[in-house]
Amino acid sequence: MSDNGRISLIFICNLLLYFLVGELNFMLGSLSLHFHADALLILFFGLYLGRLGGLVSATILGFFADSVSPVPYGTYVIGYLSMWLFLIWGQKRIRRQNHTHVRFLAALTQFFWMVMLSIVIFSQDSMNTVYWNRILMEILFSTVLVYVFAWSWCRFQKNLLYSLGWNIEAEMSQI
């Protein structure tokens, strides 16, 4: 299979994750919590796959997220591309085989994305403590869950590709 098949497969896995997170958020609605897994969607593309596939996938995922979110159009596209660039930058600075490094980079990416997203949706009407308590709780909740699930999500995707005959680690060591 070509590289495009690999990128398409990981893209479909990320769409599945996107919809599963939506269902989880539906169930968490009664607790007034919302889980943002944006860093998990971009993590594998930024750390393990090629640049062109990651660029295209981050852009398309950003358009999907933009279409269902009540933010100015283009916010998620720019945010996902920024997260992807941050992960490309971190690709050479961490050991991708070390689960702590991958988890920390994913959590850091999620934290910065959530802070930037809360600044974008900030308005003068949200100058009360209830708004900021909710935002800080969502940032903390999402960052912790991304830290917990980042390594297992990457390992799942690597094992899926490996079971289909693609060895990501061997290809990355040749670059």
Q: What is the pLDDT along the chain (175 residues), one digit of tens a residue?
A: 456 677 888 888 888 998 999 899 899 888 888 898 899 999 888 888 878 888 888 898 888 888 887 888 888 899 999 999 999 988 888 887 888 999 999 999 999 999 888 888 776 566 777 778 888 898 999 999 999 999 999 899 888 888 887 776 666 655 5
CATH code of the region 3-174: 1.10.1760
Tracing tokens 């090629």 back to the chain, one arrives at 50
pLDDT at 170: 60
User: For the purposes of burial, counting CB atoms within 10 Å of the CB of 167, is it exposed (0-12), middle (13-18) or buried (19 or more)?
Assistant: exposed
pLDDT at 107: 94
pLDDT at 1: 41
Is the entire prediction scored with pTM above 0.95? Answer: no
Residues 6+ apart with CB under 8 A from 88: 46, 51, 54
Residue 32: left if φ>0, alpha if ψ -120 to 50, beta else—which one? left
pLDDT at 125: 63
pLDDT at 140: 94
